């Protein structure tokens, strides 16, 4: 895959995941996306598999985060803080890796998720929103567990 | 954080710049400044309608497929439509009689009268995440929608408006953890608060029930008016008992049928 195709398709994937992220597949009384944050996985996996994927010098990532905030009813800037944190951890991991080692990438993804969810928790405390902590924890765990499912096709296409 | 190559040093700078911009936007939006509200409404409207426009071709294709398969059920559907039309006429007549009786009884007891004009709205986005389960409708402040207005479907309360833009509004379902509605239950007229609660069956819970309450099942739950924040008598659901005789709330609406809803405009007569 050529570099321009890689970067354009990465942007398109992220945008699709944000705009179409309401598939109405219900699992235990909740939408399946209550459990998994696909955007988090995509940002990390795309950046780490293809280091030239910097989402138009991060402008695109920033705009995507604003779209996500509006469509999910979050305070503006929330997704920006999270997306950029994940991108920063992925950039760091991409800069030190010599080859694709799944376990080390998964571990780094886990660290990125801990930081991202900590920021989410702090934001929740600031806004004073009633948050379901069991859903929050489940979302965190399932997002980490779902990483390998996305990692394999993304590495095959973008590495 | 250390980045190895020189091109990544540039990325590091940009991450910091955009992080600061995001933080700045977050602080302004979280502080709920009045001057930022029209800007936020404009951003919301443009993003909501743009993303909806992107979705239109896909929704059209999906609907076309559904429509094609429904062609085979045409005769059956026509028969059902005829039956429903007759039922509507019957119900309209009954409704007229009941409205007159209610007005007569309100005059006798001197109850305060409210008029609740409602307007039809289309659900353009339905989203669920760990913070929210929200839906966005295509009516906003320019259509007279206000924060706190109840949202109904077939005269059943489904949620309320929490944020208003110019031409769209954001609403939460009754099952949202942040939803609280004053209700009255059954012929015993117990007062309580209906909360969204994710660990309860159907994600609904009653709090502040009187100590002596007892349910036999089938009690209707409807809204009660406190300072006019909610219209009196909007139906929500009913009490049901499970095998262990523990009660739960069965709402009268279905989440996947909320494509068209009505927004009640709260005004005192």
Q: Give the three-class secondary structure for B243.
A: coil
ipTM metric: 0.86
Of B193, B184, B131, nearest to B162 by C-alpha is: B131
Best residue in B3, B28, B129, B203 for a mutation probing chain A (most A CBs within 10 Å): B129
d(CA B91, CA B86): 9
Mean pLDDT of chain B: 83
Q: Which residues contact A140 (CB under 8 A, 6 or more apart)?
A: A113, A117
CB of A2 less than 8 A from some CB of B? no
| Confidence at residue B23, expressed as pLDDT on a 0 to 100 scale | 93
| Confidence at residue B3, expressed as pLDDT on a 0 to 100 scale | 54
Per-residue pLDDT tens for B80-90?
Answer: 888 899 899 88
Q: Which two tokens stand for residue B129?
A: 């995440």
Residue of B nearest to A131 (CA): B131
Burial B184-216 (b: 16+ CB within 10 A, else e): bbbeeebebebbbbbeeeebbbbeeeeeeeebe
pLDDT over 90, % of chain B: 14
Asked if B3 and A130 come within 8 Å (Cβ–Cβ), the reply is no
B190 confidence band (pLDDT: 50, 70, 90) = confident
Instruction: Tell me the average pLDDT across B193-203.
Output: 79
Instruction: Tell me the average pLDDT across B259-264.
Output: 88
Residue of A nearest to B58 (CA): A20
| Confidence at residue A7, expressed as pLDDT on a 0 to 100 scale | 75
| Confidence at residue A29, expressed as pLDDT on a 0 to 100 scale | 52
B8 confidence band (pLDDT: 50, 70, 90) = low
B112 confidence band (pLDDT: 50, 70, 90) = low
Per-residue pLDDT tens for B134-164?
Answer: 889 999 999 989 988 999 888 888 999 988 9
Q: Which residues of chain A have pLDDT under 70?
A: 1, 21-34, 56, 97-100, 129-130
Residue of B nearest to A31 (CA): B128
Best residue in B2, B37, B130 for a mutation probing chain A (most A CBs within 10 Å): B130
Q: Which two tokens stand for residue B50?
A: 């743009």
> CB–CB of A129/B33 below 8 Å?
no
Of A63, A37, A51, nearest to B21 by C-alpha is: A63
Of B225, B183, B47, B227, nearest to A19 by C-alpha is: B47
| Confidence at residue A1, expressed as pLDDT on a 0 to 100 scale | 64
> CB–CB of A8/A60 below 8 Å?
no
d(CA B145, CA A49): 47
| Confidence at residue B168, expressed as pLDDT on a 0 to 100 scale | 92
CB of A23 less than 8 A from some CB of B? no
Q: Which residues contact A108 (CB under 8 A, 6 or more apart)?
A: A48, A89, A90, A92, A93
Residue tagged 């209707």 (tokens)? B220
Best residue in A76, A81, A128 for a mutation probing chain B (most B CBs within 10 Å): A76
Set of chain A residues whose Cβ sits within 8 Å of the Cβ of B131: 72-74, 124, 129, 131
B268 pLDDT above the threshold of 70? no
Q: Which of residues 42-101 of A touch B (CB under 8 A)?
A: 51, 54, 57-58, 61-62, 65-67, 70-78, 80-81, 84-85, 87-88, 91-92, 94-96
Cβ-nearest to B127 among A62, A73, A136: A73
By the 10 Å C-beta count (0-12 exposed, 13-18 middle, 19+ buried), A133 is classed as exposed
Per-residue pLDDT tens for B28-71?
Answer: 988 877 788 888 899 989 988 888 888 888 878 877 877 777 77
Report the relative pairing of strands B180-185 and B247-251 from DSSP bridges: unpaired
d(CA B243, CA B169): 40
B5 pLDDT above the threshold of 50? yes
């Amino acid at each position: 895959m050529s570099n321009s195709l890689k970067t354009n398709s990465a942007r398109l994937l992220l945008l699709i995941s944000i705009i179409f992220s309401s598939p109405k597949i219900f699992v235990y009384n909740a939408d399946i996306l209550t459990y998994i944050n696909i955007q988090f996985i995509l940002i990390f996996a795309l950046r780490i598999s293809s280091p030239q994927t910097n989402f138009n010098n991060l402008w695109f990532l920033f705009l995507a985060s604003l779209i996500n905030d509006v469509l999910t009813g979050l305070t503006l800037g929330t997704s920006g803080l999270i997306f950029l944190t994940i991108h920063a951890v992925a950039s760091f991991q991409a800069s030190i890796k010599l080859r694709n080692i799944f376990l080390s990438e998964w571990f780094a993804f886990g660290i990125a998720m801990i930081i991202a969810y900590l920021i989410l928790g702090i934001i929740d405390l600031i806004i004073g929103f009633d948050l379901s902590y069991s859903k929050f924890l489940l979302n965190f765990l399932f997002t980490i567990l779902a990483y390998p499912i996305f990692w394999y096709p993304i590495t095959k296409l973008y590495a | 954080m250390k980045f190895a190559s020189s091109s990544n040093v540039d990325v590091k700078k940009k991450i910091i710049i955009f992080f600061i911009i995001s933080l700045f936007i977050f602080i302004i939006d979280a502080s709920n400044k009045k001057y930022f509200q029209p800007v936020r409404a404009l951003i919301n409207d443009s993003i909501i309608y743009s993303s909806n426009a992107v979705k239109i071709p896909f929704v059209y294709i999906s609907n076309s497929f559904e429509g094609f398969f429904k062609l085979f059920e045409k005769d059956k559907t026509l028969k059902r439509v005829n039956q429903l039309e007759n039922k509507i006429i019957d119900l309209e007549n009954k409704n007229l009689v009941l409205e007159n009786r209610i007005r007569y009884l309100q005059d006798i007891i001197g109850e305060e009268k409210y008029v609740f004009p409602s307007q039809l709205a289309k659900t353009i986005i339905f989203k669920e995440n760990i913070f929210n389960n929200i839906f966005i409708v295509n009516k906003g402040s320019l259509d007279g929608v206000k924060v706190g207005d109840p949202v109904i479907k077939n005269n059943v309360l489904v949620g309320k408006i929490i944020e208003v833009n110019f031409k769209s509004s954001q609403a939460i379902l009754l099952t949202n953890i942040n939803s609280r509605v004053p209700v009255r239950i059954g012929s015993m007229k117990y007062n309580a608060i209906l909360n969204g609660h994710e660990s309860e069956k159907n994600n609904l819970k009653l709090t502040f029930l009187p100590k002596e309450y007892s349910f036999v099942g089938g009690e209707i739950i409807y809204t009660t008016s406190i300072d006019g924040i909610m219209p009196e008598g909007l139906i929500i659901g009913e009490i049901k008992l499970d095998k262990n005789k523990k009660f739960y709330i069965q709402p009268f609406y279905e989440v996947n049928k909320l494509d068209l809803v009505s927004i009640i405009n709260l005004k005192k007569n």
